[in-house]
Structure 1
């Protein structure tokens, strides 16, 4: 039992070497408000003046105080001394110097402005007058900032105290002054937050000698007011006058004993009051607490050893000294990177994302969804107006009239439409290239490549260069696919609608429109006539009604015949007009209408004036201006029936041929990209990496470790050694 507290002190020393508190060690946390007397309690336990004193917050950093009992030698000359963790080679035999060192170390870290710091000061005191204890003195609780204290000093102090007392292995030493109502005790209030049942809180009542006459704290000390499992202990500290006059500690302790022996309220419990009893009680409580927590501590340290070993494995051993080792590691990483690149494209990678498409699946999505949608969104001829088509037809015939719709005009108009397929095709190449670059950045073992950042950078550089080399030829080939389609317009393609098919479709469309219009007009006329006849027959005889009905029937026949005599969208179908065959000949083999021919003036010998003689001659310049300003304007109302038909025919032919080329491009572009870019890079990546990077003169540079990672590995090794040492200490004790 007596070795348990030194055991924890050893563990504390071990963990202090790494500045880590990963293991919750059993220790006593001293909590109290300012002027509650907690510093005096600690000094009485040590029986030495060693803590800074003054107004305001004096304890501004946690003080981890390890009390080590040393055997007194036979000649009683054993000297007491203190050691600080930050000055391990120095022994402080003068406790005034210990106080000064605490003040200096506090100011060094926490500054001069009365602020606090979480960084602890570790002090060991070796003495034959102390029992083995581990105590942590924390800043006193305060309500109002004084002087140059931070405005949130209360919040900072509370958070610091809670950080310590929340740990389940800590024992809370709640110091409260007896001359203040216990319900106002800040230390007990904080202890209640983290230890609601009072299982690991021990109360200390100070300033019992300063209570008002006729009052006492017997009910509190006996547990009748505020029950705690570990109870309350009363102490009497030195007064401010005693401290000012340097009253010896031995005399102060004797005076405390006398106070409890002769006080009428406390003499019955005097054996359970005073500083010696407090020190002994804390020693027993701490030892029992350590004994209970030792198995959990051992399990915790064992788990930390396992975790640290795994973490160290991720960092690697860092012991690559021989060329053979370096060569083997380089080759392993190159092959792993290349295999990961290929697996990502094939969809056989070990780690497949469930959040987004990547690798080969993303390339497939680009081909079928992105590229396909881009091609489908192109509407052939959307940028062609009727005037564009008219101009192309006229320009393609030169000075000659044309009998047929010129095929050259179709070629001129369809080539720019095919060119519209090039931008989305080039963009498809770029998107696949970008996805391959992204695949490249996600390849390889992250831990190993993070260990060697230069190797990782070189891997990315080599593969990126390979992909960049393949981008221009792939782009050029895709451009050539569109250029090939523009180079030769194959109107003999089996899927091409052709002139006859286009005319047939147009005729069907126009016939349907004509029938719809005639049907609508007949329905309107019948309704009108029926209404009129109904009104007329109301005042007629039956014979007159029959005549009216006959007249109505004749009117319907007239309307139907009359409507058929008018052309619809350039097609005339009346009984007195051309037949359908004659219409086609008229529109596509030249005009048969005399009104379209040039009228040659006829002047007989009789000198009678013809039609020409009555006409007013027009200047040629005016005719040219009129042609430029009206015949090629955007006003479609000026178009003849033939011109409308020609535009409709050209549009139909362009759409048919464009759809053929679009299907071809949609099929060939993905195939070309896969062959020239994706598959080529996939098959060449491993050879390229080996040829570029597997060179002996590059090994040392490529395997140069990241400095931060090397530091982390060293830190991990140190922690592993500490945990193993702590585990050995616990094993020896158990």
Structure 2
């Protein structure tokens, strides 16, 4: 601030009122900093300034850096107390969450052997329980992203395994070619009149032999999923890596042992099927029905039942329309339809399933990986101008489920075209032109094989899952519950098993440190609530003048303050006399008007006239007053908002004007009074009466006007 000014109105909160008011401070100047003035001396100087300044001494207790510090500390305290409830709730929630882990750590002291034994038993028991729940489907941690555990094994049993069986079973051209060759080889040089039984047995045995591949593949898929379940259930043993490693090794060894037993048993089941052809089975059609069926090959119609619904991506769309789009597909026993959405109100297209086949597709660089195609083996258009319908799903499991559903609808996988062409060529070369009798025999054997293989496949689809569950899944589950602990005690040392990993020890220490820090923080918060007092927020100030001023100014100008401010820059003042004694600017003297003497109101005696000397003195006084009037007006206008400053600034001018005008005014009054008295008394002593009416003094002649003196 400039010297000679003060901010009293601002600090008294009268210029621009604030809710918490203003606090004045005195900072160190650059000179003080360069002079290495310390903080204590600066604070002492600040205190002395406020106590000695006339404008601030009455509020010195509310000024200065120490008072500002106390006010800010109080505001910080109020803010902390306002935010403490939310912080306390958050800390309490964290404390409750950590108490569960801390409670677990009480049983895992690394220096206590009994604790180690108990911990190992608890972990093994928990591992067995998690394994059982994962297989049975009652686990606490159920995945929402993908199938796992028992659900995935169930899909292997009822979708993947039947699909593998169907892929093996239905190769119509190859099967008919084999039947024809077997019949001709059995007849040999003779011409057969009847359909040979040996042809049926030879073809059936070859088809049953093919069941070994899908059965063993089913075992491999189940074993892979069991291994994943074991690895996932052992994740809770991470704090003891050697224990987890040993548990996984023991359980996986048991799984591999049972895997071999399961495979041997499934191969035994296939050998049992090969050992005897039970043609007296109640579901077997026999030769008579087979011949009737060969004569009437019309397809038996069944009801149009919905098999599956779901989202698939259709890729048979022009590039201008995006190249691919997702639709809601509905698969029935007779047709495949797709809609815009799952509400099934707007049908896009429908294709019949008669004569269609399904095959896998390899996705290109920018295409979908999980793709398959539906096509017509006779190279007919399936969808508009397209020879195949290209579809894709979100995952390979989804695609496998759709393939199994298409199998139920009668859409089977097809061999490659090259294999079909080669087989057809071989058939023509080996069989030659088939006569009608051979064709009837092939059709009869084909119907018998189809009927018997349905029985075998049904038995295999039923016994393979049961065998795997009994010899592998249930056996491993019982082994974990009954024999895992015994193997752990017999193989390695208990102390070495229960060695904690460095990461787990560090995590435990960090958790304990956080737990104690949270408890200490809650205690500190409780102490703050008890030991500190918060001051209420001051009431809001009256801001009506802001709205009134904006309304008056049209809302386009800056609002003015309700009271004049002492701290603002004052308006320009009249020129002060400088050090060199410069005088005020001189004004030209106006001409003196020649006015008649006024008469007293109401007919009273007229105002007495003055002689020339008196009139000159009065005139000089009037001119002095008129000369000072403009300056007095300017001073009055300037002093209106700044009374205190103008009073101090105008003091020299008032003193100079008084000193300059006093002699002239006194001289003029004295001369005028003397002339008046002399004229009054002179007329009474014998002046001629012709001078005027009695009682009226004579107006003297107009004297010469002297030059105007310098008033200053």
Structure 1 or 2, whichever has the larger Rg, is 2
Scaled by the length of structure 2, the TM-score of the pair is: 0.49
